[in-house]
Amino acid sequence: MSGSRNRILVIDDSPEYLGFMHTLLTSEGYEVETARSAEEAQAALSLVLPAAIVADVRLPGLPAFAILDLLQANDKTRDIPILLCSGATQEIEEAQPRLSKLQIPVLFKPFDIDDLLSRVATLIDEHT
């Protein structure tokens, strides 16, 4: 399984948000895969490993942060940098010790586009 330095996987259950992120990130030169569920994310990850993942905290049919558990449990995906991008402020505040330990940054929705692009670039630069 290969990886791509400019490929990003965006995981969120909102089709509108996924469309926005796809347009934004491709306009910046990234290759973007999208997934609306953990199952779709796992299917995408089985094909090509991304340089970074931008994920929501809550996904359909899963408890909050379950996507992190799935990624951490897999040797192939454990080291892919993740940016959580979510409006779930209470859940994120409660999970802050774990997120700090895993060095997972958080960007709250609605976010500043320049901040998002900067954080994605930093994640990729720090891990390649």
pLDDT by residue for the chain (128 residues), tens digit each? 445 679 999 999 999 999 999 999 999 999 999 999 988 999 999 988 999 999 998 888 888 788 898 899 999 999 999 999 998 889 999 999 999 999 999 999 999 999 999 999 999 988 76
Tokens at 31, concatenated: 């290759």
Domain 7-126: CATH superfamily is Response regulator (3.40.50.2300)
Query: How far is it, in rounded angstroms, from Cα 5 to Cα 15?
Result: 25
pTM of the model: 0.92
pLDDT value, residue 112: 95
Torsion, Cα of 42, 47, 80, 58 (10° steps):
-30
Bridge partners (DSSP) listed for residue 84: 55, 106
pLDDT value, residue 1: 43
Query: How far is it, in rounded angstroms, from Cα 91 to Cα 93?
Result: 6
Radius of gyration of the chain (CA): 13
At 67, which helix (H) or strand (E)?
helix 66-73
pLDDT value, residue 3: 57
pLDDT value, residue 128: 67
